[in-house]
Amino acid sequence: MASELKIFSGTAHPVLAKEIADYIKVPLSDVLVKQFPDGETFVKINENIRGRDVFIVQPTCPPTNHNILELLIMVDAAKRASAERITAVIPFFGYARQDRKDQPRVPITAKLIANLLTAAGVDRVLTMDLHAGQIQGFFDIPVDHLYAKPVLIRHLHQKKLTDNLVVVSPDVGGMKMAYSYSKELDVPLAIVAKNRVSATEVEAMELIGEVKDKNVLLVDDISETAGTLVSAARLLRNHGAKKIFAGVSHAVLNAQGQKRISESEIESVFSTNSTPFAQGDKVTSLSIDEIMGEGILRIHHNESVTSLFDV
C-alpha cells in the first residue's frame, strides 16, 4: 500500500500549488517558510511526514536564485524529517537555457542545478516543457517530463481557433516543438529565421513557409521579454497573415514583455500558469492543475505517466 501523499508549496507560486492540491483532493500540508531580515530563508514543517510520500511544488522562476535555494532548503527539511520519498515538482525549470558550453569558460548551470537537487535529497523530479529535453539526462534520478501541448491545444479547440491555421516556429530552435503542434492539429508549418541582437532585442529576418490570408499560431516554450514573439508577429503580418495568436508553455513575462505584447500584432497569447507571471493585456493563463495533479497521483501510485502526453 502506498504511503500517505503530502503536498507542500514554496513561496514561488502558492496559487498553482493550491490548484493542484484541490485537483488531487488533498489539503496543502503545513509548512512555515519565511525570510530573516538578512535575507536567509527559514523552513519549518509543522506536521509529521515520517514515511510519507512528499511532493514540493516550486517553479524556479524569478526571483530564480531565491526560489531554487528555498526549494533546496525545503527538501533538506523534508529529508531530515524522514520523508520516505521526496519529489520536486518544478513546473518551470529555471536555468534550463544554460544547458551547454556555447562560449569559452562558461558554466553549464542546468547541470549544476540538477546536481544540487540530487545532493539535497530529491528522489524524483516532475517538470514540464524543459527548454532542452536532454536536461533530463543531467539527473541521476528519475525525471518525469510532461508537456503543455495538451493544455494549449484543448484551449484552441474550445475557442474554435483551428480553422485556416498555420503553426509557426518563431525561431529555428523551436522547429521540433512547432512541428508536433502542426502534426497534432493537422495544419501546415512555417518557420521564422531570426537574428538575436541582444538578450532583450531580436530582429526577425526571414519567413520559410506561406502565411498569406492565414490565421497563425506562434509556438514557443519560454517568453520573457516577448522580443522573439513580437518581431515574428510583425514579420508575419507583413507577409499577409490575418489573425496572429501565440501559444507559450512558460510565460515569465516582465513589464517590458507585457508592454510589447499589448502593443504588438498579436491578438492573444495563451500560456500555462507554470509561473505567476503569465498575465497582462492580451495574455490568457491556462491552469496546469490537472496535468500536474495527474502526474503526482501516478508517481504516488507507481503508475505510468506516458498517457498524459496525449491530447
Q: Which residues pair with 85 in a beta bridge?
A: 53
19 φ, ψ (degrees, to nearest 5): -65, -40
Q: Which residues pair with 286 in a beta bridge?
A: 272
Residues in contact with 11: Cβ distance below 8 Å, sequence separation at least 6, in sequence order? 33, 67, 70
From 104, 105, 160, 115, select the one nearest 137 (Cα to Cα). 115
Q: List the catalytic residues.
A: 194
Q: Which residues pair with 128 in a beta bridge?
A: 146
Measured between alpha carbons, how far is 302 from 206 in angstroms, rounded to an integer?
47
Residue with grid cell 508537456, as numbered in its chain: 147
Measured between alpha carbons, how far is 208 from 191 in angstroms, rounded to an integer?
5
Q: Cβ–Cβ contacts within 10 Å for residue 27, how many?
A: 11
